[in-house]
């Protein structure tokens, strides 16, 4: 194992708390899609693993790790009045407005990592436009060397395209990059790319879910700096 020089973050469930962000989005999205018909919103939500009444996702919801295209592919069977592309557009519009709950204050956290010389990126299965909107709202877009959504030309996770794109962009060997994520999609993509796999527990998956696929499981990204220091100290 080599020293870590680059850090690639998933967005939802990693930089931002998944439940606090996306449960609000899902409720607003389904309300809009059903035109305030609670019975229909409940039925549509069930199709994607979301309980409209309690405003909670099931742990196996397609929304957790899927792309907007994946979600739209399921939804179009239940809302035939909309095309798949229209559904993707509505998903992205509502996503851009979703409230973002930072896992830890991101500006000082990311600034400190950059000061230590790390190259930083984001690889998300969200679309690029709402992803950039979320990072802009947090005031941290400028701190990243690379931001890719599922529609940025690299594909989505668990395929390694986004990860390989980051490695090329920053000129680092994948073995010197840590992928930080809250889902098995993130960790499988990291393995395929030859990156170090760091799991965090601010998404919907448990430690038991993630540990078999990870090099380490951390409570959240605020624990990352100390872990990085220990990792690199052992290899200096």
The better pLDDT of the pair 65, 3 is held by: 3
Statement: residue 94 has pLDDT above 90: no
- 214-229 average pLDDT score: 98
Q: Domain with 115 in it: what CATH number?
A: 3.40.50.1000
Domain span at 77:
19-97
- C-alpha closest to that of 110 among 179, 9, 13: 9
Whether 31 and 54 map to the same domain: the answer is yes
Question: How confident is the model at residue 157, as a pLDDT?
Answer: 97
Residue 225 in domain: yes
Question: How confident is the model at residue 1, as a pLDDT?
Answer: 64
The model scores a pTM over 0.85: yes
Whether 183 and 218 map to the same domain: the answer is yes
Strand partners, 50: 57
The better pLDDT of the pair 115, 235 is held by: 115
């Amino acid at each position: 194992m080599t020293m870590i020089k680059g850090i690639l973050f998933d967005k939802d469930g990693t930089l931002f708390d998944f439940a606090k962000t996306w449960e609000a989005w899902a409720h607003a999205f389904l309300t809009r899609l059903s035109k305030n018909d609670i019975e229909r919103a409940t039925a549509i939500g069930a199709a994607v693993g979301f309980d409209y009444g309690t405003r909670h996702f099931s742990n196996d919801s397609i929304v957790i790790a899927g792309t907007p295209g994946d979600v739209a592919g399921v939804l179009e069977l239940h809302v035939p009045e909309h095309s798949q592309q229209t559904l993707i557009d509505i998903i992205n519009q509502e996503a851009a407005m979703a409230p973002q709950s930072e896992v830890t204050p991101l500006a000082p956290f990311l600034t400190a990592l950059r000061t230590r010389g790390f190259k930083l990126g984001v690889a998300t299965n969200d679309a690029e436009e709402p992803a950039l909107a979320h990072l802009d709202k947090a005031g941290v877009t400028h701190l990243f060397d690379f931001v890719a959504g599922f529609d940025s030309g690299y594909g989505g996770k668990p395929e390694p395209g986004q990860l390989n794109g980051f490695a090329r962009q920053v000129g680092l060997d994948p073995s010197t990059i840590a992928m930080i994520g809250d889902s098995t999609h993130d960790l499988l993509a990291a393995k395929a790319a030859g990156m170090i796999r760091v799991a965090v527990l601010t998404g919907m998956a448990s430690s038991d879910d993630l540990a078999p696929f990870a090099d380490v499981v951390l409570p959240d990204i605020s624990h990352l700096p100390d872990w990085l220091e220990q990792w690199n100290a052992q290899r200096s």
